[in-house]
Amino acid sequence: MECVETEDFFIKSISAMSKVEFEHRCMRLHNVLDENDLSSSMIFRHKGTDPLPLVISTEDWKTIEAGIAQRARLFNALASDIYGEQRLWKNGKLPAALLFANPDFLQVVWKVRPTGGLFVNLASTDVVRLKDGSFVAVADHLQVPEGLGRALENRIGVSRAFPELFRSMRTERLAVFFKKLMDGLDDMHKDIRERGESDKVVLLASGPENPRRAEDAVIARYLGIPLVENDDLAIRNMQVYMKTLMGLKKIGTIFRRVEDGMCDPLELRIDSGEGAVGLISTVRAGNVAIANFLGTGVLETPMFKPFLPEICKELLGEELLLRDVETLWLGNAADAERVMAEPEKWIFKKAFRDAESFKETEPKTYASMTTTAQLALLQAIEEAPEQWVAEKSIDIATVYTYRETPDGPNFVPAVSQMRFFAVNSASETTVMPGGLGILDDGLGEKDIWVLSEKPVANFSLLAPASQTITPSRASGNLPSRAAENLFRLGRDLSASNMMARIARGIAVRLSDESWMDMPELPWILKAGLSDESQSRLAQDPENALRYFVLRKDNKDGMQCVLTEIRDLGMQLRDRISEDLWLYLNGFGIAEMPAGPGAAALLPYLKEVLSDSAAVAGLAADSMTRGHEWRFLELGREIECAIRTLRLIKNLLSTTPTDEMTDLRLLQAVLEIGDGLMTYHRRYGGRLQIVPVIDLLLSDESNPRSVAYQVAKLREASKHLPGNNQSEATFSPLDRELMRVLAELRLANIEQLSKTENNHRENLEKLLDEQINSIERIAEIVTRLYLSHAPRAGVIHATTTEMSEV
């Protein structure tokens, strides 16, 4: 490999590798990252993780570590003053605007002391190295610091790609830091726990559509705590509970990953959706600990920067160790004059974050703006200087990355920020020895390696051997929302399976040249494809089939179901095994058929069916038989039973006049219903209506039969809370299940098969009843275990109109 001029030991070492070897390592890195797939939801137009870690020497790390630790303490002390005595503002040193013009200052938590005593548990600071070798801070994240999960994933990837370098360079490990974080979260609700009430830590994540969600799932899983959404929380009697299938479970600490304003629709932003109504009262009552505490968003205000050295002296009695990029507040006349004398040397930012989006507004680099834009900026500053800060342009030292260039992949210099993390506890502050390197211009991320002088001890978050764990078969507390997602996933899996089998049945027939002469084809088409495609059926069956299988905008089509399966996989990420998640994440993402012709669809359909088989097998092999498994099973069986019943109804309740069509329909039903093999083994080649119906409807030894599904449904529902079948009175769910099962077992197939006026009336009637019953069973499950009553918005009871003045 070509080497670049560098002092970097890592780059020197890999230069000794062959190009092939190095590419192989890069491939390994990307495989690890792909499996975790955080990249699809990056905030920084992510283009992958660079294979070269950013290496920090022991010497430099001492400086950085001290600086980061001090800032974490400083911001905790600052929050304590802001939401307490406001000493800093009573001596004429700080502008009042910093608090009262600041949309991030959260009035409702003023004078509320956090349970556990800390405002800032997890802190993070973005740092850059200047060309002169010094380090400066460019931003702090103190509300919901992002990137911790990504740093973890990058570390796993890069260290697996270069394990021998990772060890020989004595790279510091990250696990100890996560242990500290977890201990801190546990510690916070100590006071509550001592009252003998609670011992639970949960991670409150933002909704599944939030780009941060994937990372939140990684963190929750690594810390071993449940991931909940607002909807999983219930507040009763000013206590926070998690809604689970086993009832309400009290929560001690909420590690929140949602912004300040979105935590309680009663007292904060009323658009905070299904927020935990009444959380503020609960926090005030000291009944729950929150990390980071509510209101810490104010600490991220850009306008604090110019005042930090002074604040540090006031609050900690120390000099600020890690300086910010030079920043001036333009509300200060002397500073404004200095900046305006040479605006091209400055970057302009709003002093406060945007009140609606919680985001900083886009900084404006004067030197690179058009003349018109420059004039507009100057005028805006002139009108309200106190709304602006100016940040000095800086020269950042570059680091090497390995990336594609026009001449093939090579070492290329790039600008990188380093995001470091620290965790405060009552007695100490710990800085994570590592971090997230963020390359400029969306070029991706880097792992950060901090080198140790001493050999690095191995440490794992797994419980120490000395700690005895009592074996347990309990399945923990399944949040109702997770149960609902599993139930829907189960239904979608069965739906996609049946859709693919019908589509395959059609595609196979269409790819036969004599398809025009196949009398059963119109029946299957009508039975299988949904309403949307109906109009196309007559003229162009092939096109209708493609519309059904491939079109993403067909809401009754297969792609919609496949998309939902992948979304549900994402939402369930913290509850299912890594392997299962991998399959769900790639569910139905196979090469799309190239070229025309129904036959071209067959390989794709085969992929979908094999994904479906793989997921079923993995779930059966890897999921313990707890509630998670049960809800997945309930969903699968309900959907499978309904779809099989519909298939029989659509193809067999009306009889064609000629025997040929009749036989071909029987053949199709068996084929799509997956009973052809069993049938031939039992009855040979002769197709007759009675054994066909028996096999698909009542035969409990056939795993595709409706009776088998219902029997399994009953089995799975046996262990659901409140559905104990040994009790004398049957639950409504069990009663319904028993009725369906009895009807299937007692069904007189001979009778059902009778045809009158080309119509099997008895059969159709029975099938309709069964479909209704099973849909009712689905409703009961939803109502008993999964439903959440809808919540109305905030209501102001007020009339401020006067009758007479």
CB of 193 to other proteins, least distance (A): 21
Please identify, using beta-carbon distances, which residue of 16 and 794 lies nearer to other proteins.
794
What is the Cα–Cα distance from 733 to 715, expressed in whole angstroms? 12
The token pair that represents 385 in the structure block? 């200087």
Residues with Cβ within 8 Å of residue 445, at least 6 apart in sequence: 44, 46, 48, 49, 50, 150, 154, 436, 437, 438, 439
Please identify, using beta-carbon distances, which residue of 3 and 355 lies nearer to other proteins.
355
Helix (H, G, I), strand (E, B) or coil at 277: coil
Binding stretches for other proteins (CB under 8 A): 86, 89-97, 99-101, 107-108, 110-111, 235-238, 265-267, 277-278, 280-281, 284-285, 355, 789-805
> How far is Cα of residue 644 from the mean position of the Cα atoms in its chain?
33
CB of 202 to other proteins, least distance (A): 20
* Cα maximum dimension of the chain: 99
Please identify, using beta-carbon distances, which residue of 79 and 123 lies nearer to other proteins.
79
Residues belonging to the chain: 805
- Phi and psi at residue 241, in whole multiples of 5°? -125, 155
What is the Cα–Cα distance from 534 to 508, expressed in whole angstroms? 19
Please identify, using beta-carbon distances, which residue of 468 and 799 lies nearer to other proteins.
799
CB of 87 to other proteins, least distance (A): 10
Q: Which residues pair with 25 in a beta bridge?
A: none
CB of 696 to other proteins, least distance (A): 43
The closest alpha carbon to 325, from 72, 126, 622, belongs to 126
CB of 313 to other proteins, least distance (A): 17
CB of 781 to other proteins, least distance (A): 20
β strands within 548-647, DSSP E? none
Please identify, using beta-carbon distances, which residue of 93 and 680 lies nearer to other proteins.
93
What is the Cα–Cα distance from 629 to 620, expressed in whole angstroms? 8
Please identify, using beta-carbon distances, which residue of 196 and 790 lies nearer to other proteins.
790
> How far is Cα of residue 649 from the mean position of the Cα atoms in its chain?
40
Please identify, using beta-carbon distances, which residue of 154 and 244 lies nearer to other proteins.
244
Please identify, using beta-carbon distances, which residue of 622 and 782 lies nearer to other proteins.
782
| Residue 177 vs residues 33, 425, 436, 516, 569: alpha-carbon distances, Å | 22, 12, 14, 69, 29
Residues with Cβ within 8 Å of residue 411, at least 6 apart in sequence: 2, 4, 11, 52, 400, 401, 402
CB of 232 to other proteins, least distance (A): 15
> How far is Cα of residue 115 from the mean position of the Cα atoms in its chain?
28
What is the Cα–Cα distance from 434 to 432, expressed in whole angstroms? 6
CB of 785 to other proteins, least distance (A): 17
Please identify, using beta-carbon distances, which residue of 7 and 804 lies nearer to other proteins.
804
What is the Cα–Cα distance from 259 to 275, expressed in whole angstroms? 11
CB of 486 to other proteins, least distance (A): 24
438: left (phi over 0), alpha (psi -120 to 50) or beta: beta
Please identify, using beta-carbon distances, which residue of 553 and 801 lies nearer to other proteins.
801
Look up tokens 């190095």; give the residue: 22
CB of 506 to other proteins, least distance (A): 46
